[in-house]
C-alpha cells in the first residue's frame, strides 16, 4: 500500500502543541530539576517505530527522540529502564520504580497513578487482515471472528465496550499477533497505523494489509507518576518549545508508510513485456516451428499476467482512495470522525487566537443506548445513531462541525458562538431528538440524549481542556436524570 505525503500528514502530524518558543520555568520547576536531575524512563520494548529495543539491545524510536530533545532543553538527564513488556513498564511507574513512560494514552485506570502531558502525536488504530480478504473490515463485521491485541494497550478498554461479539485474543507481542494473522491462526489484529506499517515491513509479511480503520485514535503523551506534577508541567513546556522544523525532521526520520513491496509502474510493465517479446523473437529465429509455437503460448501467458498485475495496481489505488475517505469520515453515519474534527480544531483555534472570538463545544451522548442494543439488536442501534446524525445535520449551521466521537458520543464544534448561544443550540438539539421516533416494524422507539457544553473565549482554554469540561457537564446531565443539558 503506497500512501502520499499528504496522507501521512493527515494521520500523524497533528499534535496538541502548535507554537514554539523559549522555555520559562518557574522557581519551583527550576528547583525540582536541581533536586531531581535524572529521570528514570520505563521503555516499551515492542512499540516500533515509537519506542522499541533494536537489534543491538538499545532503546530506539520516535518517542526517545522527542524526550531527548525535551530533556536537553530543560537540563534533565535520562536513565533508561528496559522492562520485558509494556505492562511491566506501567507497573514500574505505578510502583514508583520509574518516573515516567513516553508512549502512553489516557485511560480511566491509568489516571489513578499517572499524570499525562499534552499529546505529542495522534494516530489512528487500523485493522490488519490477510490480503486474501478483499472487502473492507470493521469491528462490526468481525463479529464471531478472532481479533488479536496486546495486553496493556489502551484500545483494549474500547474493544471491551464496542467489540463485545468479537473473540478477543491476547498475544504476547505485536510480532506474535501479526505472524498469527499471517498464518491464518487469527482473523485480524488492531494496531496503530505507524506500528502496523513498520512491523509488516520489518517482518516482511507481504500477505497482510490494512483492511479497515476504527473510530479509536491514539493520542500519545508522556505520562509521569502522579506524585510528580511538577515534572509534567516541565515536560509540557519543553514540548511546546520544539521548533516546527525540528519536530518535522524527527517525524520524517521515523515515520514512513511507503511499502516495502516493489510494485512496477506502467512504463516498467511495458519495458518488461517488450524485453520478453524481443527474447521470444530471437528464439524463434533459431528453433523449429514446434518451439516457436511454445514461445508464442508462453509470451501470451506473460502478457496476460502483466495485464493482471496492472489491474491489481489499479485496484490498490482505488482502495487507497476509499481508505482516505474512511480516514476522515465515520462509515456508519457519514459524519466527520475524530481525525477530521481535530484537523478543523487546529484551524479554528488559530483563528480564535487571532480574532479573540469564542468557540463552543457540545458533547452529546445517547441515553441508555446499551438497552436499545440489548432489546432490539445492533442493527436498530445503528439506525438510532444514523437518525441522531440526520437530526444534527438538519439542525446545525453549515459552519459548525459535527463528528462522531466514538460509540454513541457525538462532538459538535460551534465557531464564533458564545456560551448562551451554545446552550440554546444544545437545548434545541435535545428537544428535536426527544420528539423524534424510529419505526421498527410495528414498534416505535423513542430515545433521548444528554448534552454537556462549554465555551473557549478568545483562546483561554486548550481543546483538551474544553473537551474535559464538556465531559464533566455531560456527566452532570446524566446524573441529574438524563435527557438534560448542562454547561457554563
Domain ranges of the chain: 12-122+219-254, 123-217, 266-328, 338-487
What CATH homologous superfamily does 12-122+219-254 map to? Periplasmic binding protein-like II (3.40.190.10)
**Mean pLDDT, each 10-residue run in order, the chain (488 residues):** 38 42 84 96 89 85 90 94 92 96 88 90 89 90 94 89 91 94 95 86 90 87 95 91 75 54 45 57 57 66 65 66 68 87 83 83 95 87 92 91 91 92 94 90 88 84 87 94 94
User: H/E element holding 349?
Assistant: helix 338-355
Which residue stretches of 75-213 are H helix? 86-94, 155-162, 174-182, 193-203
Of the candidates 7, 454, 31, which has an alpha carbon nearest to the alpha carbon of residue 233?
A: 31
Of the candidates 315, 338, 306, which has an alpha carbon nearest to the alpha carbon of residue 123?
A: 338
How far apart (Å, rounded) are the C-alpha atoms in residues 420 and 454?
10
pLDDT value at residue 20: 46
123-217 — its CATH code?
3.40.190.10
> Dihedrals φ, ψ of 47, to 5°?
-140, 45
pLDDT value at residue 95: 96
Q: Count how many residues are written for the chain.
A: 488
How far apart (Å, rounded) are the C-alpha atoms in residues 310 and 330?
31
**Same fold: 12-122+219-254 with 123-217:** yes
How far apart (Å, rounded) are the C-alpha atoms in residues 488 and 470?
9
Pick the CATH number of 338-487 from 3.30.70.270, 3.40.50.80, 3.30.70.360, 2.10.10.90: 3.30.70.270
How far apart (Å, rounded) are the C-alpha atoms in residues 323 and 327?
6
pLDDT value at residue 9: 38
The pTM for the full model equals 0.49
pLDDT value at residue 308: 64
pLDDT value at residue 261: 33
pLDDT value at residue 72: 92
- The DSSP code sequence of 413-458 is EEET--HHHHHHHHHHHHHHHHH--EEETTEEE---EEEEEEEEES
pLDDT value at residue 306: 60
403 - beta bridge partners? 336, 411
**CB count in 10 Å sphere of residue 56:** 6
Amino acid at each position: 500500500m503506497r500512501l502520499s505525503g499528504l496522507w501521512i500528514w493527515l494521520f500523524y502530524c497533528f499534535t496538541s502543541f502548535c507554537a514554539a518558543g523559549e522555555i520559562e520555568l518557574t522557581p519551583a520547576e527550576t528547583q525540582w530539576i536541581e533536586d531531581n536531575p535524572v529521570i528514570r524512563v520505563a521503555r516499551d520494548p515492542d512499540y516500533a517505530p515509537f519506542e522499541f529495543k533494536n537489534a543491538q539491545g538499545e532503546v530506539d524510536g520516535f518517542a526517545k527522540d522527542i524526550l531527548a530533545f525535551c530533556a536537553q532543553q530543560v537540563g534533565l538527564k535520562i536513565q533508561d529502564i528496559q522492562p520485558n513488556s509494556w505492562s511491566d513498564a506501567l507497573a514500574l511507574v505505578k510502583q514508583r520504580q520509574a518516573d515516567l513512560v513516553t508512549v502512553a494514552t489516557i485511560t480511566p485506570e491509568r489516571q489513578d497513578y499517572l499524570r499525562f502531558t499534552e499529546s505529542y502525536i495522534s494516530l489512528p488504530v487500523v485493522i490488519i487482515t490477510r490480503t486474501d480478504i478483499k472487502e473492507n473490515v470493521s469491528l462490526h463485521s468481525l463479529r464471531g471472528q478472532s481479533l488479536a491485541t496486546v495486553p496493556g494497550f489502551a484500545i483494549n478498554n474500547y474493544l471491551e465496550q464496542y467489540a463485545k461479539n468479537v473473540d478477543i485474543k491476547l498475544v504476547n507481542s505485536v510480532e506474535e499477533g501479526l505472524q498469527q494473522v499471517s498464518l491464518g491462526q487469527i482473523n485480524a489484529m488492531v494496531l496503530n497505523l505507524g506500528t502496523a506499517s513498520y512491523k509488516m515491513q520489518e517482518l516482511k509479511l507481504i500477505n497482510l494489509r490494512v483492511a479497515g480503520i476504527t473510530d479509536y485514535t491514539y493520542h500519545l503523551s508522556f505520562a509521569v507518576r502522579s506524585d510528580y506534577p511538577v515534572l509534567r508541567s516541565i515536560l509540557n513546556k519543553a514540548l511546546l518549545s520544539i521548533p516546527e522544523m525540528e519536530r518535522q525532521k524527527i517525524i520524517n526520520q521515523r515515520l514512513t508508510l511507503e511499502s516495502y513491496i516493489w510494485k512496477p509502474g506502467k512504463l516498467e510493465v511495458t519495458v518488461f513485456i517488450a524485453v520478453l517479446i524481443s527474447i521470444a523473437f530471437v528464439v524463434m529465429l533459431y528453433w523449429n516451428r514446434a518451439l516457436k509455437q511454445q514461445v508464442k503460448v508462453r509470451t501470451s501467458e506473460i502478457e496476460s499476467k502483466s495485464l493482471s498485475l496492472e489491474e491489481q495496481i489499479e485496484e490498490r489505488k482505488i482502495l487507497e482512495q476509499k481508505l482516505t475517505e474512511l480516514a476522515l469520515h465515520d462509515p456508519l453515519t457519514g459524519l466527520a470522525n475524530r481525525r477530521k474534527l481535530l484537523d478543523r480544531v487546529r484551524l479554528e483555534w488559530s483563528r480564535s487566537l487571532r480574532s479573540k472570538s469564542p468557540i463552543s463545544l457540545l458533547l452529546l451522548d445517547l441515553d441508555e443506548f446499551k438497552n436499545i442494543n440489548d432489546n432490539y439488536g445492533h442493527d436498530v442501534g445503528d439506525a438510532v445513531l444514523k437518525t441522531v446524525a440526520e437530526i444534527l445535520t438538519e439542525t446545525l449551521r453549515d459552519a459548525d462541525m459535527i463528528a462522531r466521537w466514538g460509540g454513541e458520543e457525538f462532538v459538535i464544534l460551534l465557531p464564533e458562538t458564545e456560551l448562551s448561544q451554545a446552550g440554546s443550540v444544545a437545548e434545541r438539539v435535545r428537544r428535536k431528538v426527544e420528539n423524534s421516533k424510529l419505526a421498527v416494524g410495528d414498534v416505535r422507539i423513542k430515545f433521548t440524549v444528554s448534552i454537556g457544553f462549554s465555551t473557549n473565549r478568545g483562546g483561554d482554554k486548550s481543546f483538551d481542556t474544553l473537551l474535559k469540561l464538556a465531559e464533566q457537564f455531560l456527566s452532570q446531565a446524566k446524573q441529574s436524570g438524563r435527557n438534560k443539558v448542562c454547561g457554563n
